[in-house]
């Protein structure tokens, strides 16, 4: 009886952004956070997790910061050039994986700017999706009432929040299916802001996997102190 290969789980970390909204003296993934840089915290999540087979890091072609990091990769690490938008960077990362691993393996795309992802949420995502026919994303239900703004800056409408969720990362799909869906979306100039949008565009319905709201994306200066709090809490309580 032929032994079926257990699919691997590979991380793609888009880290080629400039951090315009942060307005710092360097790209936000290289800002100091809890004794390291944002990117080092994020990479460590996947380096230390035993179920992650390897990592593809996507950095800007003119990145001058990565070489100075203290990176100890204990599993395969590929470093590739990013692109104009996040979706282009992700596709570049998927392209490298397609040359090295089985297209039926799982890929987890996770923003470098999300260093507070917990091991508990990562395990929950892997456990929930490893046999799923489509894949899915970490997300959390919207808690606040949502308002649509009019051109005058006034409330144009209140949006029903009943079924609204906030998409996080990792976003986890079969490598071949995601690469094909993302390439097709970009070929149609459909510049998606997350991987699930490309899968939806291809007619799939990814699963929403509830995760902790601590999985913030560091975007503006105020996010750094919140991230530092979450990371310090994780070190003392383990979650
Ligand atoms: N061309 C790009 C743009 C973004 N990213 C990455 O995608 C993640 C989420 O993007 P975002 O938070 O928008 O980061 P930036 O694009 O750097 O932020 P800004 O929009 O404020 O410039 C980040 O880890 C960022 O480094 C990327 O790899 N390639
Ligand atoms: C992928 C993402 O983090 C899910 O919420 C988000 O879409 C990234 O958007 P950004 O504008 O590239 O930060």
pLDDT of the residue at 8: 95
Looking at ligand 1, which atom is closest to the CA of residue 219? 12
pLDDT of the residue at 3: 60
Which ligand places an atom closest to the C-alpha of 193? 2
As for ligand 1, residues whose beta carbon falls within 6 Å of it are 14-22, 28-29, 58, 82-86, 89, 111-113, 217, 219
Query: What pairing do the DSSP bridges indicate for beta strands 77-81 and 54-59?
Result: parallel
Is the per-residue pLDDT at 233 higher than 80?
yes
pLDDT-derived band at 82 (thresholds 50, 70, 90) equals: very high
What would the pLDDT profile of 135-150 be if each residue is shown by its tens digit?
999 999 999 999 999 9
| DSSP class per residue in 23-90 | T-SS-GGGSEETTEEHHHHHHHHHHH-TT--EEEEEE-TT--SGGGS----SS-EEEEE--SSHHHHH
pLDDT of the residue at 236: 64
Compute the average pLDDT of residues 8-33: 98
| Mean pLDDT estimate for the chain | 96
Compute the average pLDDT of residues 42-55: 97
Distance CA 82, CA 109 (A): 14
Beta bridge partners of 13: 57
* Count of other CB atoms within 10 angstroms of residue 136: 21
Compute the average pLDDT of residues 35-64: 97
Is the per-residue pLDDT at 207 higher than 90?
yes
What would the pLDDT profile of 1-17 be if each residue is shown by its tens digit?
556 677 899 999 999 99
With DSSP H G I counted as helix, E B as strand and the rest as coil, what are the percentages for the chain, rounded to 5? 30, 25, 45
pLDDT of the residue at 1: 59
Looking at ligand 2, which atom is closest to the CA of residue 217? 3
Q: What is the 8-class DSSP label of residue 103? A: T
Is the per-residue pLDDT at 118 higher than 90?
yes
Angle at 11 between CA 105 and CA 32, to 5 degrees: 175
List Cα–Cα distances, 23 to 82, 105, 107, 211, 220, in angstroms.
Answer: 20, 37, 31, 29, 8
Spatial contact of 58 and 93, defined as CB atoms under 8 Å apart: yes
**15 CA from centroid of ligand 1 (Å):** 7
Distance CA 135, CA 129 (A): 6
Domains and CATH numbers, the chain: 9-137+167-236 (3.90.550.10)
Spatial contact of 127 and 49, defined as CB atoms under 8 Å apart: no
């Amino acid at each position: 009886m032929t032994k079926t290969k257990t699919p691997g789980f590979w991380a793609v970390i888009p880290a080629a952004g400039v951090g315009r909204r942060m307005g710092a003296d360097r790209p936000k993934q290289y800002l100091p956070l809890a004794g390291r840089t944002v990117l080092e915290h994020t990479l460590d999540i996947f380096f230390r997790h035993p179920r992650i087979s390897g990592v593809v890091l996507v950095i800007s072609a003119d990145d001058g910061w990565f070489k100075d990091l203290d990176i100890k990769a204990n599993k395969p690490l590929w470093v590739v050039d990013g692109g104009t938008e996040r979706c282009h960077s992700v596709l570049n990362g998927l392209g490298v994986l397609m040359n090295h691993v089985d297209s039926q393996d799982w890929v987890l795309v996770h923003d470098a700017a999300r260093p507070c992802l917990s091991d508990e949420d990562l395990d929950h995502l892997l456990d929930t999706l490893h046999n799923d026919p489509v894949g899915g994303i970490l997300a959390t239900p919207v808690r606040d009432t949502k308002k649509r703004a009019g051109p005058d800056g006034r409330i144009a409408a209140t949006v029903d929040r009943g079924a609204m969720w906030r998409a996080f990362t990792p976003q986890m799909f079969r490598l071949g299916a995601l690469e094909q869906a993302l390439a097709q979306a970009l070929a149609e100039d459909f510049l998606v802001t997350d991987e699930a949008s490309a899968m939806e565009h291809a007619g799939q319905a990814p699963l929403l996997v509830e995760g902790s709201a601590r999985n913030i994306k560091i975007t503006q200066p105020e996010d750094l102190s919140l991230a530092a709090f979450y990371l310090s809490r994780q070190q003392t309580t383990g979650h």
